[in-house]
Amino acid sequence: MADQSTPLPLTRESVQAAHKLIEPYIHKTPVLTNTTLNQLASTPRTEAELAGTEWAGHAPAKPVLRFWFKCENFQKIGAFKARGAFHAIERLKQEPGWADGGGRERGVVTHSSGNHAQALSLAAHTSRIPAHIIMPTSSSPAKIAATRTYGAQIHFSGPTAPEREAVTATIQSQTGAVLIPPYDHPHIILGQGTAALELLSQVPRETHLNAIITPCGGGGLLSGTALACSGGENTDTFVFGAEPSLDAADDCRRGLATGSRVKTVPATRTIADGLRTPVGKIPWSIIHDRALVRAVYAVGEADIKRAMRLVWERMKIVVEPSAVVGLAAALYNEEFRALVEREGGEAGWDLGVVFSGGNVSLEMMGALFAEA
């Protein structure tokens, strides 16, 4: 963005300020529960289910889990990304000289595989600001079409982060547009954190969330969630992340294991297409350097598909693959489940699960489950 030296400090108070600023533009998405999923999560997996996994031969974990699902699939543009985009635009409009200096006419630019593209397009359109969006040619046709619907000018690039960034730099130099990154900026992170802030206020007064788990791609949602839980009465709410493991897409988990951020990830075929990017520098400073995220867990493609099917069939709501990696970890990652058993005991845990989005086409769903 125009000036990274003047953003709000990365604190819970700044998340609260972000929420106040964007509240007129976003939906306060519902928090849902599901008894069947609670029962499934609280039932030990069988030896047959663990066969062929890294936990084969180990005693199954016996956690007690009660889920509270923050449904950002019902957010504007169908994903949490609307929060960060609206916050970034609203902060940009407050910068001295923005309107008088021609900034509004030059517009904004970003690169995204889909959800941030749609979010920034909508936020810019709402404020009548031109938007240039760089999208990989591999982006979902449905997400490309939706981005166009909001009036953005789309430019295509190759699928890797360096290829996206190169095209972005070219467009920025040609237009003078202000870069609004998809995740690696304080204003984006603070906006994303408002989802967890709402979640904490939406559970019943007598319920204390022991933890919140979110998907992790670039880390904006995860780090924003960590900030939302970093002060006030929620400092004892643990924050966890979840990633796909296919093709080393679990860069945040691996980085935490070594203590060093993984700056690039190989091209990955994971169906969780929104999580194919490496964790950004600023999110990493919150996740690792400030130790506001307790741990990140990885799940395989089969587990992501199983979790997605359960949500569609049992909850009757539309979610995309990226949205359910946190649920998949709670259902199928024995390391996480053993932690809940050990620390939750007989009382168990109330676990907030952020469903990050629901932008998936019927054609993609058919292809995913064609063999079933």
Where in the sequence numbering do the catalytic residues fall? 81, 113
Roughly how many angstroms between the first and final C-alpha of the chain, as a whole number?
45
Choose among 220, 1, 171: nearest CA to 91. 1
Taking a C-beta distance cutoff of 8 angstroms, is the pair 130, 107 a contact? yes
